[in-house]
C-alpha cells in the first residue's frame, strides 16, 4: 500500500488536533466495522464563518490524515462552503488514498456535517443540503461504490 507524501505529512504532523471548549458545534461519528471514531469541533463566528476547527480521532492513519486535511479545508470558510468539503475534495488535496482506505476519508466529511448540524440545531437555522447526520457511517457504506 502506497501513501502519498501529503498523506504521510498530515499523518505524522496532523494540523488542528485537539478540542475546542464551548465549541459552536461538535460532531462525532464512528465506523462500527473498523471501530474508529472521529470528533470535530467547530468555532463559528457571528458571520457564520468557521473561525477555528479541531479534531480528535481514535482511528487509523488515513483517518488522521484526512481529518487533518479536512480541518485545513474548512477553516476560514462559511458554514455553507464548509458543507461542500467532501471526502473527494479531501482526497484530492492529499493526492489520493489507496482504494481500501477511501472509506476512512468519509469519517471526516461526516463528522464535519454532524458538527454543522449541531451548530444549526442550536441556532435554529437551516443549512440547505445538510442532512441529519448518522452516528455510524458503516450503516450506509454498503450502498456506496468505491
Q: What is the C-alpha separation between 69 and 51, in angstroms, rounded? A: 16
Nearer to ligand FES, 36 or 118 (CB): 36
Which residue from 142, 113, 140 is spatially nearest to 129, judged by alpha carbons?
113
Instruction: Give the H or E element holding residue 82.
Output: helix 79-83
Residue 60 designated active-site: no
Which residue from 93, 119, 146, 120 is spatially nearest to 20, judged by alpha carbons?
119
Residue 34 designated active-site: yes
Q: Give Cα 67 to chain centroid, integer Å.
A: 5
Q: Rule CB under 6 A: is residue 60 a binding residue for ligand FES?
A: yes
By CB under 6 A, the residues from 17 to 46 that bind ligand FES are 31, 34, 36
- The residue from 7, 20, 42, 62 that contacts ligand FES (CB under 6 A) is 62
- The residue from 14, 25, 27, 59 that contacts ligand FES (CB under 6 A) is 59
Q: Rule CB under 6 A: is residue 91 a binding residue for ligand FES?
A: no
Indicate which residue of 15, 17, 28, 34 is catalytic. Answer: 34
Q: Rule CB under 6 A: is residue 127 a binding residue for ligand FES?
A: no
Which letter does DSSP use for residue 130 in this model? P
Look up residue 3 and give its three cell numbers. Answer: 501513501
Cα three-residue angle 39-43-44, rounded to 5 degrees: 125
Nearer to ligand FES, 16 or 31 (CB): 31
Q: Rule CB under 6 A: is residue 104 a binding residue for ligand FES?
A: yes
In the numeric block, the cell 470535530 is attached to 40
Nearer to ligand FES, 26 or 64 (CB): 64
Catalytic residues: 34, 104
Residues that bind ligand FES (CB under 6 A): 31, 34, 36, 59-60, 62-63, 104, 107
Amino acid at each position: 500500500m502506497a501513501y502519498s507524501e501529503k498523506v504521510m505529512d498530515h499523518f505524522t504532523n496532523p494540523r488542528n488536533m485537539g478540542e475546542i471548549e464551548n465549541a459552536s458545534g461538535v460532531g462525532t461519528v464512528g465506523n462500527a466495522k473498523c471501530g474508529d471514531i472521529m470528533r470535530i469541533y467547530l468555532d463559528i463566528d457571528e458571520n457564520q464563518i468557521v473561525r477555528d476547527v479541531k479534531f480528535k480521532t481514535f482511528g487509523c492513519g488515513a483517518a488522521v490524515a484526512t481529518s487533518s486535511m479536512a480541518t485545513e479545508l474548512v477553516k476560514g470558510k462559511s458554514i455553507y462552503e464548509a458543507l461542500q468539503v467532501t471526502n473527494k475534495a479531501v482526497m484530492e488535496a492529499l493526492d489520493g488514498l489507496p482504494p481500501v482506505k477511501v472509506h476512512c476519508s468519509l469519517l471526516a466529511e461526516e463528522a464535519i456535517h454532524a458538527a454543522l448540524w449541531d451548530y444549526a440545531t442550536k441556532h435554529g437555522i437551516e443549512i440547505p443540503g445538510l442532512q441529519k447526520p448518522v452516528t455510524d457511517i458503516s450503516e450506509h457504506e454498503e450502498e456506496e461504490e468505491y
